[in-house]
Amino acid sequence: MTADRIDLDAHQLADLRVIVDGRVSTNESVLDQHGHDESAFPPSRPSAVVMVNSTEEVSRVLAYCNTEQIPVVPFGAGTSLEGHVVPIFGGVSLDLTNMNRILEIRPDDLLVRVQAGVTRMALNEKLSTYGIFFSVDPGADATLGGMAATGAAGTTTVRYGSMRENVMALTAVLADGTVIRTGRETRKLSAGYDLTRLLVGSEGTLAVITELSLRLFGIPEKMGAAVVRFPTLHDGVAAASAVVRSGVPIARCEFLDALSIRNINAHDHLSLSESPTLFFEFHGSPESVMEDGRVVQEILSEFHGTEFEWANDEGARRKLWQARHNSHFAAAAAHPGKKGVSTDMAVPPSKLAAAVAMVDATLSKQPFPYTILGHVADGNFHSQLMADISKPEELVAIRKLVHEMTLKIIEMGGTCTGEHGIGAGKIDLLVAETGGEAVQVMRGIKASMDPNGILNPGKIFRN
What is the footprint of its own copies within residues 27-56 (CB under 8 A)?
none
Q: Which stretch binds its own copies (CB under 8 A): 5-13, 139-147, 185-193, 324-332?
A: 185-193
If one counts every other C-beta atom within 10 angstroms of the C-beta of residue 4, the result is 7
Residue 122 binding its own copies, by CB under 8 A: no
Residue 447 binding its own copies, by CB under 8 A: yes
Tell the smallest beta-carbon distance from residue 53 to its own copies (Å): 22
Tell the smallest beta-carbon distance from residue 96 to its own copies (Å): 20
Residue 324 binding its own copies, by CB under 8 A: no
d(CA 402, CA 383): 9
d(CA 47, CA 10): 11
With respect to its own copies, which residue has the nearer C-beta, 30 or 295? 295
With respect to its own copies, which residue has the nearer C-beta, 85 or 259? 85
Closest C-alpha to 241, from 380, 444, 74:
380
Question: Which positions from 206 through 235 interact with its own copies, judged by CB under 8 A?
Answer: 206, 218
Helices (H), 192-247: 195-199, 233-246
* Contacting residue, 101, 126, 184, 335, with its own copies by CB under 8 A: 184
With respect to its own copies, which residue has the nearer C-beta, 353 or 385? 353
Question: Which positions from 362 through 391 interact with its own copies, judged by CB under 8 A?
Answer: 375, 378-380
With respect to its own copies, which residue has the nearer C-beta, 59 or 327? 59
One-letter amino acid for residue 413 of the chain: G
d(CA 366, CA 86): 29
Question: Which positions from 389 through 418 interact with its own copies, judged by CB under 8 A?
Answer: 413-418
Tell the smallest beta-carbon distance from residue 336 to its own copies (Å): 31
Question: Which positions from 327 through 346 interact with its own copies, judged by CB under 8 A?
Answer: 344, 346
**DSSP calls for 343-393:** --EE--GGGHHHHHHHHHHHHHTSSS-EEEEEEGGGTEEEEEEEEETT-HH
d(CA 325, CA 269): 14
* Contacting residue, 286, 337, 392, 435, with its own copies by CB under 8 A: 435
Tell the smallest beta-carbon distance from residue 417 to its own copies (Å): 5
If one counts every other C-beta atom within 10 angstroms of the C-beta of residue 397, the result is 16
Tell the smallest beta-carbon distance from residue 246 to its own copies (Å): 9
With respect to its own copies, which residue has the nearer C-beta, 8 or 140? 140
Closest C-alpha to 20, from 50, 47, 43:
50
* Contacting residue, 32, 128, 181, 314, with its own copies by CB under 8 A: 181
Tell the smallest beta-carbon distance from residue 214 to its own copies (Å): 13
With respect to its own copies, which residue has the nearer C-beta, 263 or 384? 384
d(CA 416, CA 397): 18
Closest C-alpha to 137, from 129, 125, 145, 147:
147
Residue 349 binding its own copies, by CB under 8 A: yes
Q: Which stretch binds its own copies (CB under 8 A): 139-147, 327-335, 357-365, 443-451?
A: 443-451
Tell the smallest beta-carbon distance from residue 275 to its own copies (Å): 26
One-letter amino acid for residue 118 of the chain: V
Number of residues located near its own copies, criterion CB under 8 A: 78
Residue 202 binding its own copies, by CB under 8 A: yes
Q: 208 near 269, Cβ under 8 Å?
A: no
Residue 247 binding its own copies, by CB under 8 A: yes
Residue 71 binding its own copies, by CB under 8 A: no
DSSP 3-state assignment of 27?
A: coil
Torsion of CA 163, 165, 168, 171, to 10 degrees: 30
* Contacting residue, 5, 245, 400, 462, with its own copies by CB under 8 A: 245
Residue 204 binding its own copies, by CB under 8 A: no
Q: Give the total residue count for the chain.
A: 463
Residue 111 binding its own copies, by CB under 8 A: yes
Closest C-alpha to 98, from 54, 35, 142:
54
Closest C-alpha to 205, from 113, 83, 118:
83
Helices (H), 161-230: 163-166, 195-199
Q: Positive or negative, the Cα torsion across 318, 138, 418, 35? A: negative
Coarse DSSP helix, strand, coil percentages of the chain, rounded to the nearest 5 percent: 40, 20, 40
Question: Which positions from 138 through 167 interact with its own copies, judged by CB under 8 A?
Answer: 150-151, 153, 157-158, 162, 164-165
Q: Which stretch binds its own copies (CB under 8 A): 114-122, 139-147, 178-186, 311-319?
A: 178-186
* Contacting residue, 28, 29, 188, 367, with its own copies by CB under 8 A: 188
Q: Please list, in sequence order, all residues whose beta carbon lies within 8 angstroms of the beta carbon of residue 200, skipping any fewer than 6 positions away.
A: 148, 149, 151, 163, 164, 167, 170
Tell the smallest beta-carbon distance from residue 253 to its own copies (Å): 12
